[in-house]
Amino acid sequence: MKEKEKIKKSLRYSILDGTFFSMMVGFGESFFQAFGVFLKANNIQLGLLVSLPQAAGSLSQLLSNKLIKIFNSRKRFVCIFALLEALMYIPIALVFFLGTLRVFHLIFFICLYWVFGLIINPAWNSWMGDLVNEKERGLYFGRRYKIAGFASFVSLLIGGYILHHFTDSVINQYIGFVCIFALAFICRIVSIIFLSKQYEPQYKIVEGAHFSFIEFLKKARFRNYGLLVLYLTSMNFAVYLAAPFFTAYMLYDLQLSYMSFTIVTATALIVKYLLMPIWGKASDRYGTRKVLSLAGLIMPLVPLLWLFSKKLWYLIIIQMYSGFVWAAFEIASFNMIFDTTSAQKRATCVAYYNVLNGVLILFGSLVGALIVRYNQVFWSKYLLVFLLSFVFRYIVSFIFVPKLKEVREVEHIPYHRLLLHIITNMTTKGLEYDIIPLRRKEKWNTQNMKKQE
């Protein structure tokens, strides 16, 4: 009973940790590309700014298991490196004074930021996997992401408002960035406080559960988790052909103000996180594979839609659709990683997934940057990568989705009925019980919580 009570409190602390972590992302990480544009980064540099840090952070996860052994505690490991992540906001803010090489210094410090942030992912996933009942993962993480996403949305809007009021000179624009990065630093410190309050179930390292990265790659196409990894990483290659350049397109070509840019960015964010609980419940009921495959069919349309209009209202509508489909894709892929891995191998599996993911994100961004640099097909040099991203996303889905398998006993439902079910819940019960964040809710059911074996 004592352990159940500790788990119950820990899950509440995790929601608070996620809330302040998301506020850090809203104030800080969300504006890294805008800061790069402010520092006059070119398209190659913008591609590196987005992809190289994630690749470095992903590769660092090859050391995660060794560090878990060294610290002999997932909790201690996570908290210490989360603090190092927070401290990186100080040199990031100071690169303004480093002269002509300041963009490269910015990329370097953001790389360190991502290394410290991503190296703890396998340990955190393993830790949370021990705390959350497998039958309620979709419900819990959907609720957690909804609350955290609302916090990220609010902080993103505040960050954009601050930048909007510091635009009359270069120095004032820099002061605006310093203000939001300082807020990001503070929010991460608060999130670490709640992380430190969480209970860590005993973690035993099973030597026989370890396997090398080469072994993982050799067997990937024969196993469900391996196929999931190949699907998600290939999809991220297709996504990152275009992902680094939406900010540049809005700020360089469309000449949006910081406030308009923030509104467009925040629209997708708030829709995504507010709809995650609905998609999470559907994932619990109908299976992660069903939700993920549906998302794989409707998500690839997003970059294509950017080709048809430059109007602000149109961009907002696109972002609403983007938030809707990415909510499904992200919650289903996240939960399916838990479903297809055992507790003993989860940290290793997540680390290897992130390593491969980082490499393909970097490759996709560099290919996208080269296409942007040399193409002259559309009025904007960014539109061709949007179109190619759309094509490659569909190719990836058509190759891998039919090969994925559901691992739990779930209800069967056709895709069109699932989509109708989501839209119906979103417009009726979803709006009343899931989307409105300030509505008083019933306490989350923790009576059946137990430690994962």
- Indicate whether 422 pLDDT > 70: yes
- Domain with 110, as residue range(s), is 2-198+213-435
What are the tokens at 438?
């300030």
> What's the number of CA atoms in the CB half-sphere (13 Å) around residue 41?
29
Q: Is residue 120 part of a domain?
A: yes
**Confidence band (pLDDT; 50, 70, 90) for 450?**
very low
Cα 414 from Cα 187, distance rounded (Å)? 43
* pLDDT recorded at residue 300: 94
Percent of the chain with pLDDT over 90: 35
The sign one gets for the Cα dihedral 127, 128, 132, 133 is negative
Cα 385 from Cα 241, distance rounded (Å)? 6
DSSP state of 304: H
Cα 34 from Cα 38, distance rounded (Å)? 6
Identify the residue with better confidence: 376 or 314: 314
Q: Is 99 buried (19+), middle (13-18) or exposed (0-12) by CB count in 10 A?
A: exposed
Cα 341 from Cα 326, distance rounded (Å)? 23
What are the tokens at 337?
């990683």
Task: Determine the average pLDDT of the residues in 78-85.
Answer: 94
Q: Is residue 448 part of a domain?
A: no
DSSP state of 308: S
Task: Determine the average pLDDT of the residues in 412-423.
Answer: 84
- Indicate whether 435 pLDDT > 50: no
Phi and psi (nearest 5°) for 410?
-135, 165
Cα 18 from Cα 147, distance rounded (Å)? 8
* pLDDT recorded at residue 140: 83
122: CATH: 1.20.1250.20
**Confidence band (pLDDT; 50, 70, 90) for 270?**
confident
Contacts of 192 (CB under 8 A, 6+ apart): 17, 79, 82, 83, 86
- Indicate whether 440 pLDDT > 50: no
* 175 contacts 284 by C-beta, under 8 angstroms: no
Q: Is residue 203 part of a domain?
A: no
* 61 contacts 351 by C-beta, under 8 angstroms: yes
Residue-wise pLDDT for 170-216, tens only, equals 899 999 999 999 999 999 999 999 999 998 887 666 555 566 778 87
Q: Which whole-number Å values give the CA distances from 279 to 225, 327, 377, in the listed order? A: 21, 7, 38
Q: Is residue 346 part of a domain?
A: yes
* 151 contacts 20 by C-beta, under 8 angstroms: yes
Kindly give the residue spans of alpha helices, DSSP state H, lying in 28-169.
Answer: 32-38, 43-60, 64-71, 74-87, 89-94, 102-118, 121-131, 137-164
Contacts of 171 (CB under 8 A, 6+ apart): none
> What's the number of CA atoms in the CB half-sphere (13 Å) around residue 415?
11
Residue-wise pLDDT for 243-254, tens only, equals 888 988 998 889
Q: Is residue 175 part of a domain?
A: yes
Contacts of 374 (CB under 8 A, 6+ apart): none
Residue-wise pLDDT for 125-159, tens only, equals 888 878 887 777 767 887 887 788 888 888 988 99
Q: Which amino acid is at 342?
A: S
Q: Is residue 449 part of a domain?
A: no
* CA-closest candidate to residue 453, choices 206, 196, 286, 283: 206
Q: Domain total for the chain? A: 1
Q: Is residue 445 part of a domain?
A: no
Residue-wise pLDDT for 22-57, tens only, equals 999 999 998 998 899 899 888 788 878 888 888 888
Residue-wise pLDDT for 207-236, tens only, equals 555 667 788 788 888 888 889 989 999 999
Contacts of 237 (CB under 8 A, 6+ apart): 360, 361, 363, 364, 392, 396
Cα 196 from Cα 17, distance rounded (Å)? 9
* pLDDT recorded at residue 209: 56
Q: Is residue 446 part of a domain?
A: no
- Indicate whether 437 pLDDT > 50: no
* 164 contacts 310 by C-beta, under 8 angstroms: no
